Amino acid sequence: MPRVVSLFLPTWSTDRLRRKLADTAPPADAPLVLIGRRERRRVVMAANAAALAAGLRIGMPATKAQALVTDLVVMDSDPVADAEALERLALWALQRYAPIVAADPPDGLVIDTTGADHLHGGEELMLSGMVNRFHGSGIAARAAIADTWGAAHAGARFLAQPTIAIAPGAQGELIANLPIAALRLDPSIVHGLRVLGFNTIGDLARQPRAPLALRFGPELGRRLDQAIGRIAEPIDPIRTPELIEVRRSFGEPIAAAETIARYTAKLVAKLCRLLEEKGLGARRVDLLFHRVDNSYQAIRAGTATPVRDIKRLTRLLTDRIETIDPGFGIEIMSLTASHAEPLTATQVISSLVEEPEADVSGLIDILGNRIGQRRLFRFAPVASDVPERSIARIAPLTPDGGETWPGHWPRPTRLLLHPEPIETMALLPDHPPVSFTWRGVRRRVRRADGPERVFGEWWKRDAELVAVRDYFQVEDDAGARYWIFRSGDGEHGETGSHRWFLHGIFG
């Protein structure tokens, strides 16, 4: 079952202009509209959140908008630049989310994420990650995922707050109560339907098709069927000249897995030759299958380092051929290096007697394509006295920076994600607890070592200017060893709460 994401950027034009004119743009809370010409009239083409909150609407005459809001900031719209920026945004999404991405003018993107959501932690996490990325860049965004482009488009614009995942097969019921404008119809058709008394998609779905088609043409029925899923709506993926791509067209459609695998290997060999000519290695490759029913199927494979090894790339792609549904046949196969980086020759060993280092990049690539590259990581030391900040997650094959953890104070083999509060009996200010209760179990302390005083990072946060922690290594009657600390110095209230926490467990 296909899954399609619609990403809606409600104030795309004004956000883009504000970012472009960061030095001269008005404050973020100022009402801003972009004015353009529609036939002979100057109307509002785009408005930011402040202008919409003030009662302005898209399509409103410019003179009326200026009369309603006295401090309104007016700028000329630039639809050509908006479209170009949206294309660049679609290319960015292609490199990060899925192999089938297209711009959805004037203010959105559409992404076929079939089979790719698990690489981003599932549909909910994928949607929230998309929206958070845009919010972090100062761009408002809403996102929805559904079985069809039409349902996802409607959900992003009328249901998402800021995201919504429409369950498979539930799009018909969910969009029935939405206004007819959610069907992506021409404004004149929407106006005509409203004059006739139709307000929701459900009202249209219950009516006979013939009279509506006779009056409004075939677009109305086609949009309704596309949203519900009765007919397919293919997404034409974005491609640019900068992307390295190879294609193979077939006189007769192919469908057998063995045939697909054979031509996949040929495409990989051809792509690797092009990469070698440019001195590049692929970090992400997309294999697209154009079926005879004008729909697409895709396989995406990523690598931890730049690669142009034919065998490795072929294996990564052919391992997932069983996920492809050829339908009535595949007439075009294309292979694209959607993300490539410079690749230079490296010396494996420096002498004949030296043993080469084990290369685990192939294993990492296989695991990364099964569970997601973001779920594979290793820990690296960070220069910080605060224990939970002294560890960072980095990519598995990131070069070693040479930093190490200090060895004069031992650290537990298992550090809890967050310190957990414990109940203790202790003599302040410098003595370890006599006993402590953690997760409902009371443990008597038999041995203890400490305290090790850790100060807050006052140069990062004012709240840690005088904050301290006193850490102890303690051992209970069963021989288990724990790492606990008291928040504060035991004497002065401004140094901490003086509560006790368990932060780690020694092996």
Q: How many CB atoms lie within 10 A of CB 366?
A: 15
Residues present in the chain in total: 507
User: In a structure prediction context, what are the per-residue pLDDT tens digits for the chain, which is 507 residues long?
Assistant: 789 999 999 888 888 777 766 656 667 678 888 999 888 889 998 888 888 889 998 889 999 999 999 888 888 888 888 889 999 999 999 988 989 999 999 899 999 998 777 778 788 989 999 999 998 888 889 999 999 999 999 999 999 999 999 999 999 899 999 999 999 999 889 999 999 999 999 999 899 989 999 999 999 999 999 999 999 898 989 888 889 999 999 999 999 999 999 999 999 999 999 999 999 999 999 999 999 988 899 999 988 889 999 999 999 999 989 989 999 999 999 999 999 999 876 655 555 566 666 777 888 888 887 777 777 888 888 888 888 888 888 888 887 777 777 667 778 888 898 899 999 988 877 888 999 999 999 999 999 998 899 998 888 888 888 899 999 999 999 999 999 999 998 888 889 999 999 999 997
pLDDT at 12 (0 to 100): 84
d(CA 374, CA 377): 7
**Quick check: helix, strand or coil at residue 428?**
coil
pLDDT at 355 (0 to 100): 65
Q: H helices of 450-506, where?
A: none
pLDDT at 487 (0 to 100): 93
For residue 452, give Cα distances in angstroms to 420, 436, 439, 472.
Answer: 18, 19, 24, 7
Q: In what order do the strands lie in the sheet with 73-76?
A: 41-47, 32-38, 73-76
Q: H helices of 119-253, where?
A: 123-136, 149-158, 171-175, 187-195, 201-205, 209-216, 219-228
Decide: 146 and 155 in contact? Cβ < 8 Å: yes
**Quick check: helix, strand or coil at residue 154?**
helix
What pTM, to 2 d.p., does this model score?
A: 0.75
Q: In what order do the strands lie in the sheet with 142-146?
A: 100-103, 108-112, 4-8, 142-146, 163-165
